[in-house]
Structure 1
Amino acid sequence: MRFTSLLALGLAGLALAKDGTTTETTETNTNTDLSSTITGSSTSYNWSDASTITNASAQVPTGSYLTYTSVITLGNGDHKTVVSSSLNASATATGNQTLLHTSTSDSVTVLVGGGGTTTLGNNSMNATHTHSSTSSIPTETNTTPCNGYSEFCLRNYSNITNVAAHNSPFVVPGNAASNQALKVTDQLNDGIRMLQFQAHNKSGEIHLCHSSCDMLDAGTLESYLAQVYQWMIKNPYNVVTFVMGNSDNLPPTAFVDSIEKSGLKNIIYSPPKAPMALDDWPTLSEMILSNKRAVFFMDYGANETAVPYIMDEFSQLWETPFSPTDRDFPCTVQRPPGLNHKDATNRMYMINHNLNLELNFGSISLLIPNTAYMVDTNSANETLYGSLGNMSAKCSEMWDRPPNFLLVDYYNWGKPNGSVFEVAAKANNVTWNGNCCGSTSAAAHMAVASVSTMVLIAAGVQFLLAAF
């Protein structure tokens, strides 16, 4: 049996509970000594005590970073609509949802806010960045939410903080390589608006796998995207972002077939130029009412002249340190490397707040969620060390604006469950409704397989390592 296959079986039998101990869910062996230690090339790990696993430096994915010396105009781009200050007097009511007085420009109808004042532009938290035009037409309160909040309708896509599911498809109960507890439809229902994942080439087909398809294979990209498309069709007032990890450095054209067959090509957003600066992005209402609501980024290997709608991530979005094992969660730029402060302030940014443990098995290194701290990691408490609330507030102050994306593991864990959405709401200056999460408890999804199986695999890995 290949080493990676054996390791995959071991991962299927291992998860670390919140208190750092293992939990038994199937057959048991009460005489088994769980203190057995597996020795890797340089570090020893005690499977029964999460605190003995070394927080090593995570390996950052590498690839070529695109540098644009000038802005490129892309064909068939969805150009940003310039909203006219002259409002139409029409309003459309559908059930208990009311579309407000609308403004039409370039054949795109735009949702307009309520009250006697119509706010145009970014509608950001800082009033100095907004401008208003007063209409004499009586208006009604906007009850049609965009991405869950009516306040977002007139904000630019680049001026909203979204919760992002790290490795969204990796939902396998009892597998320590999983990063989420709830399926993608539950994620979207709960309010996740960015879906991040790793894509791998498996026998000529793109699969979603964690590090290796031998460890965790969540199925095909097409099948996953098809589920998202069906949800988006049923929820037409939502914009969803995808960040694809191009793990095998495939050409972007290799992803086109999966995207188009999933149905998402029908509603995909294609930028008018590359790169898109912070103020170039359209408002959510423009994207929604033009039905261009699926936004795709790729970390490495994008070619926007070949496939305009698969955007290069790092020329339009920067990230804090990748898959951190440090609870301090620095707000500094890691990717793309060498980005100067001026350029960083002119593009969106994502904070990586998925705390990890790095496990080393001989030549194989694997990052898994550090569930021992998960509740605190996802907490909205801004004074709590290592919490999402603390990092969001710290980064907002450092960069003078909130992050655009909050990348987290097991988003449904927290204080209370789903507290990551409370953090996003505060960054957006709106009020979270407190509704979360999914239909299944996190504990049920994070329960592990039998202890006896775990120890058996541990013994097998120990044997193989000793043979190297």
Structure 2
Amino acid sequence: MLPFALVASTLNSGLVSASSYKPRASVCNGHAELCDRSYGNVTFIGSHDSYAISATQVAANQDQNITTQLNDGVRMLQVQAHSYDGSIHLCHTSCLLLDGGLFSDYLTEVNTWVVANPNEVLSILIVNSDNLNASMYGAVFETSGLDKVSYAPTKATTSVADWPTLGSMIDSGLRVVTFMDNSADFTTVPYIIDEFSNVVEDAYNAVEDSFPCTANRSTGTPENQLVLTNHYLDQVGSSTSIVTPNKSKLNQTNAETGTGSVGQGASNCFQIYARSPNFILLDFYDAAGLAPFNVAAELNDVSAPTNTVANYTGGDGSTSTSTKSTASTTSTSSSLSGAGPQFKSEMMPLIVAVAVAVMAGSGLMLA
């Protein structure tokens, strides 16, 4: 039993339902119980740097393609966007280190999945690394078709208690919620929502496994915002100051219980906010099998998932507790899971990273 006994109390609070709306959808995100639950009172598992996909590359944070991530149960996709070669690309720190391809291709794959899964609410978090204006992102959403299923709130800032229910979002067909960390513009692209006036984040790139969930980034009142916890552990190289994912501890970081686990991190959030986190971002979400999804199920007071997740292929001391994947995968430009890149593409990001760090005289984050 996870230490979430108090969490159930939130399910009887004003956060349970945004209104008296009675949804037509009978199942929402896999559970009938979630249909009349407010978006602000649901916990979703997310993938940190969801596009940074490789089993072996040093700058990677995931090892399964986007369709597989979604089929496995990931419901928040975080991306880092850059202006590169005249378009918006998904790159890790620099497009010279890891270029995950065009954002338009990424969103097209996401839209294909969303259309095929009409009873699912999905969230996207854009790190707008180059401070591009919202209209540029709006154009990419329109190209992919994702704008047609994107939820736009009635105002720029929404209190955690005022979000609609999952059922109402599904019934409306507008069930993709997108946040962006800077340069959102409610008047021009209302479905790209300013993150930090609506969401509070704790610290990222943690190198210690305490995961206290203390508010770190917010422009609003954290108690009234959605809560995102960056639950991934990094490490600093012994001979360089380069920060990379701590893959050797993934089994514990992504575990249900114990020191540094997903369960412990969620409990830390509850101690601060008297409610569960809304988004739990993970590196290599599949490294401990269903463990993170079991935590989310308990926080949401629904039955544990019965599917299996894709087998973790990242190595370095972690072994998936899942069996064979039941998810169908789609071969696209972002389908990079499976065999790792060849030596040149695998090592080049590290070589470039070391050179950049040395020239800059400072650390470099590949996590």
Q: What TM bracket, shorter-length normalisation?
A: 0.7 to 0.9
Give CA-to-partner distance per residue, 1:298-347, whole Å, 9 cap, x none: 0112121222111100000000112212211122100027x6xxx21111
Contact 2:25 2:119 (C-alpha < 8 Å) held by counterparts: no
- Alpha-carbon separation, structure 1, partners of 2:209 and 2:309: 25
Q: Deviations over 1:178-214 (max 9, x none)?
A: 1111111011111111000100000220000000001
Query: TM-score, normalization: structure 2?
Result: 0.80
> How many angstroms apart in 1 are the aligned matches of 2:339 and 2:302?
31
Give the 3 Å change call, closer, same or farther, for CA 271–319 of structure 1 in structure 2. same
More helix by share: 2
CA distance in 2, matches of 1:446, 1:432: 31
Q: Distance in 2 between matches of 1:354 and 1:401?
A: 21
Distance 1:158 1:257, change over 3 A: same
Q: Which residue of 2 aligns with 1:389?
A: 263
* Residue 307 of structure 1, aligned match among 149, 169, 189: 189
1:450 and 1:248, CA in 2 relative to 1: closer, same or farther beyond 3 A? Answer: closer
- Taking the aligned partners of 2:217 and 2:109, their CA distance within structure 1 comes to 30
**Aligned-residue offset at 1:442:** 4.6
Q: Deviations over 1:140-166 (max 9, x none)?
A: xx9942112111100011110000110
Q: CA deviation at 1:295?
A: 0.9
Deviations 1:377-433 (A, max 9, x none): 00001xx1111111111211331100000010000011xx12110111111111212
Q: Which of the numbers 357, 367, 370 marks the counterpart of 2:243?
A: 367
Q: For residue 225 of structure 2, what is the aligned residue in structure 1?
A: 347
Q: Secondary structure at the match of 2:133?
A: coil
Partner of 1:430: 302
Corresponding residue for residue 201 of structure 1: 83
8 Å Cα contact 1:239-1:293 kept in structure 2: yes
Q: Which moved more, 1:294-303 or 1:371-380?
A: 294-303
Structure 1 SS opposite 2:97: coil
Residue number in structure 2 paired with 1:356: 234
The higher radius of gyration belongs to 1
1:413 is matched with: 287
1:119-158 aligned within 5 A: 125-129=10-14, 144-158=26-40
Q: Does 1:298 align with 2:180?
A: yes
- 1:226 paired with 2:92, answer no
Q: Provide the C-alpha distance between the structure 2 equivalents of 1:198 and 1:461, rounded to a whole number of angstroms.
A: 21
| Residue aligning to 1:42 | none
The answer for unaligned runs of 5 or more in structure 2 is 1-7, 18-23, 316-336, 362-367
Secondary structure in 1 matching 2:299: helix
Count of residue correspondences: 324
Distance 2:292 2:133 in 1: 34
SS at 2:95 equivalent: coil
What is the CA–CA distance in structure 2 between the aligned matches of 1:176 and 1:267, rounded to whole Å?
35
CA contact (8 A) 1:148 1:191 kept: no
Query: Is the CA contact 1:125–1:428 (under 8 Å) kept in the aligned structure 2?
Result: no
SS of 1:213 mapped into structure 2: strand
Note the C-alpha offset of 1:128. Answer: 4.4
- TM superposition score normalised by structure 1: 0.64
Residue identity opposite 2:11 in structure 1: N
Query: What letter is aligned with 2:246?
Result: N
**Structure 1 unpaired stretches of 5+:** 1-122, 132-141
Q: Distance in 2 between matches of 1:292 and 1:143?
A: 13
Alpha-carbon distance, 1:124 to partner: 7.4
Tell me the percent identity: 36
Distance 1:148 1:251 in 2: 35
Aligned partners of 2:25, 2:90: CA distance in 1, in Å? 37
* Matched residue type, 2:254: N
8 Å CA contact retained: 2:25, 2:171: no
Q: C-alpha distance in 2, partners of 1:460/1:265?
A: 36
1:24 aligned partner = none
